[in-house]
Each structure stands twice: as structure tokens, then as C-alpha cells.
Amino acid sequence: MKSSEKGWLKKYLDFRKDILGELTSEKRKASHPEQSLYRLIQPTGLMYGHAVDVLDNPENEQLNEKDKMKLLLAESLISSSLLFHDKPVKDPEELSRLMTKTLESIGSFYNNVFPELATPSKSFFGRKKTPLELAEKILDKRIERTADYSGNFWMQFFHNSLLFLDIFIFGQWIHTNADRIVSDFFKYEREELRFSVVKIIAVAAHANKKIEFEERRLLDFFLQSAGLSSDKKREAVEIFESGVDLESINLPTNNSWLLKKYFLEMAILTIWADKKIEDQESEFLVRLCHYLDFKDDDLENSMIAIEGFVLEHWEQLGYLQNKQDYNEISERFIKRLTKLTENNKSRIVGEVKESKALMALLRKAKIGELSEEEKQKVQMLMFTVLKTIPTFVVISLPQRYLTLPVLLKILPSSVFSETLGGN
């Protein structure tokens, strides 16, 4: 399934149809669609302008960065449509109709809101293109406008993380009738949201009262790709140079949990760009959380999500290594998870006791050595236990990083005494 070849979108849909169908199930509908979408998008790297986790595609190693990004954008747009569909889908025929409508919406969305990507609905010989053909061509064009793989995490981050705003705006677009007034509104919103990212970069960069070299480069990277008008570009530079008060940045959050989460994580990564988070910057992030009407737990969860993402994909994000020290990030991450599991100790103990297979393996480990297969089973069963913690309903666990030795570090020691003691 190479997204550089004609017909890649159909192959993708055939490959993912069962997984995508699950997004319309009764179980999925019980979750908040924005949180479900975050859980799908965040681990892939798309929010951060990278494509590190591409749909369990067996041909991943043969794909270049843009091919991966294209598949993830298609996945995210379609997932958004399915998650925000107002009722469960009951049969394959209904799912097929919904998918056709979604593909039509993708074509309509980009043709109206991104005029620079406009693609005719008919071929050179006058044949009307199918929704599948039109969507494929438009997605090809959209990804061609992203940055090439450059070996620089931050350049790609600020060039390509704007794809997230495509997904967010598309989630609103699918609930409207595309007339000229609606199209003009969304084109305006597109520019306003991109300009809001400039404000976030500026206010985060000024958090420690001085502009770092790395932060200045971030603005340059962003302005290269944001497609802002010349007036907006000048205003962006002025805001960045002079600074802006948090209380006056006036972000258009639309009361969207997902959009606010994106702004928060953009701010965290801006501050991260110069290797460390100073006390003033930590205080700023707390204030930003409150400004966004988030709680302190939301900030902690975003830190866990970002650190977990970086640790999980350290080798693929190897060009981060001159910016962040692996051991330092790992220690911070383990400390956060240890605190989280301690706060949820009773829940963990109850879940462990409920799992007869896990209890049996833990008893065996207490008196002898487990085989490699048994260790892997303990690891997977412990993941199942951790997923009952509310934080991990929204945040994906970094499963490659969380080896069994790491899991044993983050679990409160009393978990084992309370589950195995006296048995």
C-alpha cells in the first residue's frame, strides 16, 4: 500500500475497513469523540508534524515520510468523520454509504477551504471523477505542500503539525452545507487558527522573559509554512518580538477540548525546544492551563503524552538527541507514572486481583524465573490493568518503552504485597 501510487486510497480503505468500522460502534459512541480522536492521532505523531506510527502497515519500511504522512492524514480525516457521526452504524452497507459521504466531504472541504488545492471534479476528457478519485488527488496535493524530511524535529514539527488544524476544521465542516458563506467562514477560521499558533509560540517563548535562539528559529519555520497573508506575517513578527500577555491572546478555542489540547501541547514543545523547562516556564504552563479552562491534571497528562511519545520513538526521532537527554526524559516520565500509579493504587490492586492469569504469573515470579513468553504475558496483562486508570483512557501507553522492568519500577511496591501477601 504505497501512497505514492495511483489507487492508494482504495487499497488503504480495504486494508483498514474493519478497524474504521469499529469507530462507529456502540462502545465508541459512549466515549467523547474529541478524546477518542486525540487518542487515535496523538500516538501517530501527526499532531507533532511527524509520522512514526502508520496503521500497522506491513510496507512501512518502504514508505518515505510524505507517504506516511498522507496515510495518517487520510486515516485522521476519515476517523474524525466516523467518530463524530451521530449514531452507531449497524451494517456494512450503511458503513459504505457513510464512507462515500466522508470522501465527498474531503473533496468538498479542500476545494472550498483550501483554494490553492482546488481540483476539478471532471477528468480532461469530461468524465466525472468518483469521490474516491477526487479525495486521493486532493490529499496528494495537500501533502506535497508539507516539508520534506529534513532531519530536524523542530522544522518538521512547525511545518507539518498544521495538518492537525485541517482535521479539526474538517470535523466542523462535515456538519455544514457547503455554500459560499460557509466556505468563506472556514477560510477565515483557517487563517485565524494558524495565527493563533503564532500567539502560542510567542507567549510561550516569552515565558522566561528572554527569547532563545531555538525559539526564534521556530517562528521562522512556522511562518514558512503557515500561508499567512503579508499583513498577518508582519503582525506575527511584531507579536513575537514584543511579546504578548497570556490574558490578551484571545485564542478562538470554540470550547473545543481537542483544540485547547493542541494549543497546550504546542506551548509545551515550544518551551522544550531549548532543552529544558525553567521554573518560570513551568509556572507559565500552569497559567496557560487555567486560561484554557483546564485543570493541573490536564497539563500533567499532556506532559506524559509528549514524553511517552518521544521515548517510544526515540530511535526514529534520533535527531532530538542533541536537544534532549534520553535518561533525563526517562527519569521524568517514570517519576510522573509512579505518582500516577500511586494515586490509583486501590484501582490497580483491584484489577490485579480480578485477573487470575496475572495473579498466577506473579505468584510464579515470586518463587522462580519466568520464561520470556511468560514475561511478555505479564507485560500485556499489566497494560490491561493500567488502561483502567482514567488518564490512559485518553492517552495511549508507550508499549515498546514500558518493558516489564520499567513497569515494575512505576508500580507501587504495596501492589504486590496487597495482592500476593498471605497467598
Summarised one tens digit per residue, pLDDT across range 215-240 is: 777 777 777 767 778 888 888 888 88
Per-residue confidence (pLDDT) for residue 285, from 0 to 100: 93
Per-residue confidence (pLDDT) for residue 316, from 0 to 100: 66
Report how far residue 14's alpha carbon sits from residue 392's, in angstroms, rounded to the nearest whole number. Answer: 30
Per-residue confidence (pLDDT) for residue 319, from 0 to 100: 52
Report how far residue 239's alpha carbon sits from residue 241's, in angstroms, rounded to the nearest whole number. Answer: 6
Per-residue confidence (pLDDT) for residue 423, from 0 to 100: 47
Per-residue confidence (pLDDT) for residue 195, from 0 to 100: 85
Per-residue confidence (pLDDT) for residue 151, from 0 to 100: 55
pTM of the shown model:
0.86
- Residue numbers in the chain where pLDDT is lower than 50: 423
Per-residue confidence (pLDDT) for residue 317, from 0 to 100: 64
Q: Where are the domains of the chain?
A: 1-177, 179-293, 342-420
Report how far residue 334's alpha carbon sits from residue 331's, in angstroms, rounded to the nearest whole number. Answer: 5
Report how far residue 300's alpha carbon sits from residue 197's, in angstroms, rounded to the nearest whole number. Answer: 21
Nearest to 166 by CA among 301, 291, 75: 75
Query: Under a CB-based contact definition with an 8 Å cutoff, are residues 314 and 289 in contact?
Result: no
Query: Under a CB-based contact definition with an 8 Å cutoff, are residues 143 and 69 in contact?
Result: yes
